[in-house]
Amino acid sequence: MTRYLITISGPSNEAMADLVRKYKIQVFDHGIRYSKAGYLVDAIAEPDEIQLLEAAGYYIQRHEDIDEIGKARQKEVAKGNRYSQRGHSHGR
Protein backbone atom coordinates (compact mmCIF):
# COMPACT_ATOMS: atom_id res chain seq x y z
CA MET A 1 0.00 0.00 0.00
CA THR A 2 1.15 3.54 -0.71
CA ARG A 3 2.85 5.41 2.12
CA TYR A 4 3.12 9.17 2.39
CA LEU A 5 5.45 11.56 4.13
CA ILE A 6 3.08 13.77 6.12
CA THR A 7 3.02 16.52 8.72
CA ILE A 8 0.42 16.01 11.44
CA SER A 9 -1.01 18.92 13.41
CA GLY A 10 -2.79 18.37 16.71
CA PRO A 11 -4.12 20.51 19.56
CA SER A 12 -1.89 19.29 22.42
CA ASN A 13 1.16 17.31 23.49
CA GLU A 14 -1.21 14.60 24.69
CA ALA A 15 -2.84 14.36 21.26
CA MET A 16 0.60 14.05 19.69
CA ALA A 17 1.61 11.29 22.09
CA ASP A 18 -1.58 9.45 21.10
CA LEU A 19 -0.27 9.24 17.55
CA VAL A 20 2.16 6.57 18.71
CA ARG A 21 0.34 5.15 21.72
CA LYS A 22 -3.17 4.93 20.34
CA TYR A 23 -2.85 5.08 16.55
CA LYS A 24 0.57 3.37 16.15
CA ILE A 25 1.74 5.97 13.61
CA GLN A 26 5.40 5.88 12.56
CA VAL A 27 6.60 9.37 13.58
CA PHE A 28 10.07 10.75 12.96
CA ASP A 29 12.23 11.29 15.98
CA HIS A 30 12.72 15.01 15.33
CA GLY A 31 10.56 16.05 18.26
CA ILE A 32 7.28 17.90 18.35
CA ARG A 33 7.29 21.46 17.03
CA TYR A 34 4.81 24.18 17.86
CA SER A 35 3.32 26.71 15.45
CA LYS A 36 0.17 28.81 15.14
CA ALA A 37 -1.48 25.71 13.64
CA GLY A 38 -0.80 23.73 16.83
CA TYR A 39 1.66 20.98 17.62
CA LEU A 40 3.38 19.47 14.59
CA VAL A 41 5.23 16.24 13.90
CA ASP A 42 6.43 14.54 10.70
CA ALA A 43 5.44 10.95 10.05
CA ILE A 44 4.86 8.22 7.50
CA ALA A 45 1.32 6.91 7.03
CA GLU A 46 -0.88 4.98 4.65
CA PRO A 47 -4.12 6.48 3.24
CA ASP A 48 -6.37 4.58 5.68
CA GLU A 49 -4.29 5.82 8.62
CA ILE A 50 -4.52 9.38 7.29
CA GLN A 51 -8.32 9.11 7.06
CA LEU A 52 -8.49 7.75 10.62
CA LEU A 53 -6.39 10.63 11.95
CA GLU A 54 -8.45 13.24 10.08
CA ALA A 55 -11.65 11.71 11.47
CA ALA A 56 -10.09 11.98 14.96
CA GLY A 57 -9.54 15.74 14.46
CA TYR A 58 -5.91 15.89 13.34
CA TYR A 59 -4.93 18.09 10.40
CA ILE A 60 -2.77 16.22 7.86
CA GLN A 61 -0.54 17.80 5.25
CA ARG A 62 0.57 15.24 2.64
CA HIS A 63 3.97 15.80 1.12
CA GLU A 64 5.08 12.97 -1.13
CA ASP A 65 4.57 9.31 -1.91
CA ILE A 66 7.71 7.83 -0.39
CA ASP A 67 7.32 4.53 -2.25
CA GLU A 68 7.38 6.33 -5.63
CA ILE A 69 10.45 8.32 -4.57
CA GLY A 70 12.18 5.08 -3.55
CA LYS A 71 11.42 3.45 -6.91
CA ALA A 72 12.72 6.48 -8.79
CA ARG A 73 15.94 6.53 -6.77
CA GLN A 74 16.51 2.82 -7.36
CA LYS A 75 16.44 3.50 -11.11
CA GLU A 76 19.25 6.02 -10.60
CA VAL A 77 21.52 3.34 -9.16
CA ALA A 78 24.00 2.04 -11.73
CA LYS A 79 23.61 -1.52 -12.83
CA GLY A 80 26.67 -3.73 -12.79
CA ASN A 81 29.55 -4.14 -10.39
CA ARG A 82 31.49 -0.95 -9.78
CA TYR A 83 34.12 -2.97 -7.94
CA SER A 84 34.83 -5.20 -10.93
CA GLN A 85 38.52 -5.64 -11.71
CA ARG A 86 37.94 -5.75 -15.48
CA GLY A 87 40.05 -3.32 -17.38
CA HIS A 88 42.26 -2.44 -14.39
CA SER A 89 45.84 -3.57 -13.97
CA HIS A 90 46.94 -4.10 -10.40
CA GLY A 91 50.36 -5.55 -11.03
CA ARG A 92 49.38 -9.17 -10.48
Mean per-residue pLDDT over the chain, rounded: 82
Share of the chain above pLDDT 70, in %: 71
Domain spans, the chain: 4-68
Strand partners, 39: 10, 34
HEC assignment per residue over 8-40: EEECCHHHHHHHHHCCCCEECCCCCEEECCEEE
Just give the CATH number of 4-68. 3.30.70
14-46 per-position pLDDT tens digit: 999 999 999 999 898 777 788 887 899 999 999
Provide the pLDDT for residue 1.
78
64: confidence class by pLDDT, cuts 50, 70, 90: confident
Q: Report which of residues 85 and 6 the model is more confident about.
A: 6
- The confidence score (pLDDT) of residue 86 equals 61
